[in-house]
Amino acid sequence: MDFTLSEEQLMIQQAARDFAQNELLPEVIERDDAQRFPSEQVAKMGELGFLGMMVDPKYGGSGLDTLSYVLVMEELSKVDASASVVVSVNNSLVCYGLEAYGTEEQKQKYLPRLATGETIGAFCLSEPEAGSDATSQKTTAIDKGDHYILNGTKNWITNGSTAGIYLVIAQTHVDKGHKGINALIVEKGAKGFEIGPKENKLGIRGSDTHSLNFNDVKVPKENRIGEDGFGFKFAMKTLAGGRIGIAAQALGIAAGAYELAKKYAKERKAFGTEIANHQAIAFKLADMHTQIEAARHLVYKAAWDKDNGSDYDLSGAMAKLYASQVAMETTIEAVQIHGGNGYVKDYHVERLMRDAKITQIYEGTSEIQKIVISRNILKG
């Protein structure tokens, strides 16, 4: 494996870095305080092609590889994880799910709007009683011949009120268990589809997170993704790629905190010299740098596996598990290096610390990643 970036990848990385500094950094603290969705910035990311990075150009996408997507996620997440999670969900879950498993008619109808940012998507799996357990869905989609009647509640849905297209996982044949689950495309504005209040979160506060209620929503049969009963496999295959995006987000949060801590340590003086010259601080920076580089290699390896057609279930889970741990540990240390200033919002690291925690929770908690990893290493 050669992780030397191509000229095109370096240009994409720089474009994302410039966008993060010029478009996301201004007012990022204010957006976090107000829990304000970055609508203008998301629209600009659509114009730059960040919302459909791996989508075939014939459907309006950029046609890029997974590594390029990871590079963009890392740079955006260094500054604003609330914005980068929109990129993650739209690319890894919604666009990927539709392009990989949708019909040609579904691709033609939905992908151009999603890939260009005309609208954004949401992936609806989590439920109040089931979390991310796709085998325990309480939301039902009852077969009525040419359509389904959808009932149930989904929660913790990213882009909950701002999305226009929702991929909803629901149980059709209860007696068949996970083999009776379907994935349905639901458009905003459907009769009986209600959006609940916005969640007041610890971190990624600019992200638009809501519960969704489906009350006798009529969904045409042509909006089902895959064959009858394919929903569970669809969710599992889609989430496997989603882990790579979240791993890249965690990597970016860690790298952003490290860069701020290093800069601060080289400027802040204590006991007659810059604090970076004190071994206690220098060793913290050394550990942070080493852990971030290790996480970066795991994330790049998972992206490489996906791009080369290899099984990325294991590598994606390892990348997500380790990168999220590094994000949490690094941001805590970044706050510590800043001392009292680290507890102040103006220095950004307290926000990155709050944002880091979610990377250990969504797309499956750290404990779920360990289940995925252990099953992969113990099988056969």
Alpha-carbon distance 146 to 126, whole Å? 27
For the stretch 185-200, pLDDT in tens is 999 999 999 999 999 9
Residue range 1-20: mean pLDDT, rounded: 94
Band of the pLDDT at 131, cuts 50, 70, 90? low
**What is the reported pTM?**
0.97
**What gap in Å lies between CA 66 and CA 307, rounded to an integer?**
6
Residue 135 has pLDDT above 80, yes or no: no
- pLDDT (0 to 100) of residue 380: 67
Residue 81: name the closest of 201, 220, 250, 212 by CA.
250
- Give dist(CA 89, CA 281) in Å, integer: 36
- Residue 246's nearest CA partner among 163, 161, 319, 295 is 319
What pLDDT score does 359 carry? 97
363 labelled catalytic: yes
Q: Where are the alpha helices (DSSP H) in 64-208?
A: 66-77, 81-88, 96-101, 104-116
- pLDDT one-digit tens code per residue, 68-110: 999 999 999 999 999 999 999 999 999 999 999 999 999 999 9
61 touches 110 (CB < 8 A): no
Catalytic residue among 194, 333, 363, 367: 363
Model confidence band, residue 132 (pLDDT cutoffs 50, 70, 90): low
pLDDT tens, position by position, 39-77: 999 999 999 999 999 999 999 999 999 999 999 999 999
Whether residue 134 has pLDDT greater than 90: no
* Res. 255: pLDDT tops 70: yes
